[in-house]
Structure 1
């Protein structure tokens, strides 16, 4: 693996600090955590940087690592599936038991997280200004946080010797504004302008995201810097071996925040039709993820449609090991999204030996061409046929999809860092501030 020890590195941990309030991580949080741990563990001069209203504050390796590990401990992601009460309640239900699925925090309560955050805040306020960074440092920002507030990055004008690298997760608010909150397209465009002004390098999770980023920057009159693509790492918890649920009937999964672009509405209407036709023989659909924004129509079906109530289960706050155990015992993963920046559940499912049916969009082709079945996200009859066929006893269609996964090796974080480190190691400061 290419080393970055030839220069000092400051990794932005601002988002991780804000996530001390949350009991479970999002996809971007996992990327932030992986980068923070990777960079802070390397030899050489390493720092954490936190953006504050008073300007950036630089923490030494020990202080930064302490905050990062406090966040990770609060998420309780490293425990076994059986230790996760959310998983235990879900397993009991889908294996034939009754009762609601548990949601919410598992081990670290809200009061404890507030105390941890208070201690972190004191450490941050005692940090040094950006001027304390060694000359020719590399600054790595792996979330979209605060990029829509360009003044938070003005310090990079004063430190023109510092190389800045930014991670772009997606351009969905710009390319598909109908799926975001009002005003989000403008905020995301501002984030991309901030990156365009300061970046000596851009990191992307897929070639699709990389190309969309280059094209947007060119349209905005900004010359794209070099871009490195690294597919996101799959956590070691995902694999064919390990604990597994044993559902009492065919059970399909859909993973991700419940919001319109994920196309839950198609699946819920499909399940209503299946319930009317099959009654008690209807397969089960498990929705893994919290409820998001602009999802009123989806929520109406979940809360008020009696036809799907016995067959659709919501679960949030599920641990990584709990999700892996669920994937090992399910029938298939369904990913009918209209758009994605990456689609990590697809490769997590593949690593766990779970067949995948996904929407036919470029990034799904990029990461799953060798094993997915693809359907147009608007092809309701096609999705209905796929679910019905895969749910059949001894399904030949499912056997074919499962066979495609034999020998599949999912990307890991070491491979991700192998892909992006050469660019980070050679990137030079931007030619001009704007």
Structure 2
């Protein structure tokens, strides 16, 4: 296997800023855990890049995996890395880049070619191209540049699902660009198994997990919950919303902050530790996943791996991950979601028990399988 280089720019930036890992970040951390012993770290900014020394690479990997945050040391590392760039040799090898950040800069690829490093990128989704209305203004143009530049210059592309690869192939054909060598490698659960934790809420509750943004459909579920309170009063189940506040979500924030009927019923956890997340998932009636579109859907795999039922939107990628195990609903079917949540709230719910039985045949994607596919793919690029 040639020398591997891991672009850890996004991970180090988020550690410096004290932000908890997202799904994309958990993938990057899994790659560090897999390859850290022999890999070198790489930092980039607007297409300019530098390779860290072996010593600094190992130190940075240790910080990221342990979430040790020392801003002074990180600043010193970045200065050192910039100075080392002036005397950097041509290292040769393969770059693994697991976030979308920086993929749009042609000079990034040119620098890799000068170093004799073949860039391999992971494509998580094409949502800004296919559903620009759910993204911040301008993100569609940036993401289009990312995908088109990668199609032109990447040595290989890893996708997290067949659905993502299909979207990428459609875009490549649309703009008449060749599709580089690709591999589908599904993502494992981002939650480390832990012993059964104490129940965090005594009464029945449900969980929504993910950054608050338009495509996740929080606004819809909050209106469902208001109706639940109207119909059930004090017997209404609670809803735990886990995830930081993102973009274009002012209407959701208005409901979270100002809707009197939901106060004390909806709990917002915007800075939830892995331990607390695990406890919430272990004891909830179900995970709610009413997204309009997803590139993968790691919370789905996380919940089912813990044998937690899921109520999800009827998306092709969810069927790819979980077959017919979850209960699927249209993301705009208010009465359907209301009825299913009420059914799952019951102490002896036939619908919930049926899904728990189906979960027994869930085949959880594992990191071992993921990296087996990635390693075999990298061998073809030697």
What TM-score range do you get, normalising by the shorter chain?
over 0.9
Q: What is the 5 A alignment of 1:85-234?
A: 113-128=70-85, 132-135=89-92, 137-159=93-115, 161-234=116-189
Contact 1:260 1:295 in 2 (8 A): yes
Tell me, which stretches of 5 or more residues in structure 1 are unaligned?
1-5, 75-107, 429-434
Residues in 1 aligned to 2:315 and 2:45: alpha-carbon distance in whole angstroms: 38
Q: Offset of 1:130 from its aligned partner?
A: 9.4
Give the equivalent residue in structure 1 for 2:220: 266
Closer, same or farther: CA 235–188 of 1 in aligned 2, 3 Å: closer
Which residue in 2 is equivalent to 1:415?
A: 369
Separation of aligned partners in 2, 1:297 and 1:238: 35
For 1:237 and 1:18, how far apart are their aligned partners in 2? 23
Distance, in Å, in 1 between the alignment partners of 2:147 and 2:86 is 25
Equivalent position of 2:9 in the other structure: 14
Number of residue pairs the alignment of both structures matches: 381
What displacement does 1:115 show? 1.7
Structure 1 pair 129–386 and aligned structure 2 pair: CA distance change class (3 A): farther
Distance 1:385 1:130, change over 3 A: farther
Where 1:139 maps in the other structure, the secondary structure is strand
Change (3 A) 1:307 1:417: same
Question: 2-side partners of 1:247 and 1:370: how far apart?
Answer: 29
Instruction: Provide TM-score, normalisation by structure 1.
Output: 0.83
- TM-score with structure 2 setting the length: 0.94
User: Partners of 1:326 and 1:130 in 2: how far apart?
Assistant: 50
Note if 1:255 corresponds to 2:209: yes
2:260 is aligned to 306
Q: What is the Cα deviation at residue 263 of structure 1?
A: 0.6
Deviation at 1:228, TM superposition (A): 0.8
Rounded to whole Å, the distance in 2 between the matches of 1:396 and 1:65 is 51
* C-alpha distance in structure 2 between counterparts of 1:358 and 1:395, whole Å: 18
SS class of match (1:307): helix
Distance 1:235 1:277 in 2: 36
Comparing 371-380 with 124-133, greater Cα deviation is found at 124-133
Mean Cα deviation higher: 314-323 or 60-69: 60-69
1:232-285 Cα offsets, whole Å, 9 max, x none, are: 12246236x421425322100010011110011111111111111111111111
CA, structure 1 residues 202+53, in 2 after alignment: closer, same or farther (shift >3 Å)?
Answer: closer
Partners in 1 of 2:155 and 2:105 — Cα distance?
19
Q: Kindly tell me: are residues 264 and 180 of structure 1, through their superposed partners in 2, closer, same or farther at Cα, counting changes over 3 Å?
A: same
Quote the offset at 1:149 in angstroms.
3.1
| Higher relative contact order, structure no. (Cα contacts within 8 Å, ≥ 6 residues apart) | 1
Question: Contact 1:238 / 1:348 at 8 angstroms: preserved in 2?
Answer: no
What is the Cα deviation at residue 378 of structure 1?
A: 1.1
1:55 equivalent to 2:51? Answer: no
Following superposition of structure 1 onto structure 2, how do residues 237-252 of structure 1 map, counting pairs within 5 Å? 237-238=192-193, 241-245=195-199, 247-252=201-206
1:274-293 alignment runs, 5 A limit: 274-293=228-247
Is the 2:238–2:266 Cα contact (8 Å) retained in structure 1? Answer: yes
CA distance in structure 1 between the aligned counterparts of 2:234 and 2:87, rounded to whole angstroms = 63
CA positional deviation for 1:392: 1.3
Question: More deviation in 360-369 or 246-255?
Answer: 246-255
Root-mean-square deviation (CA, aligned residues, Å) is: 2.0
Distance 2:233 2:87 in 1: 63
267, 270, 279: which one aligns with 1:325: 279
Structure 2 Cα separation of the partners of residues 334 and 291 of structure 1: 17
Tell me the distance in 2 between the aligned counterparts of 1:23 and 1:320: 13
CA contact (8 A) 1:55 1:152 kept: yes
Q: CA deviation at 1:65?
A: 2.2
Map Cα deviations across residues 343-380 of structure 1 (whole Å, 9 max, x no partner).
11111111111101100011111111142111111111
* TM-fit CA distance, 1:129: 5.9
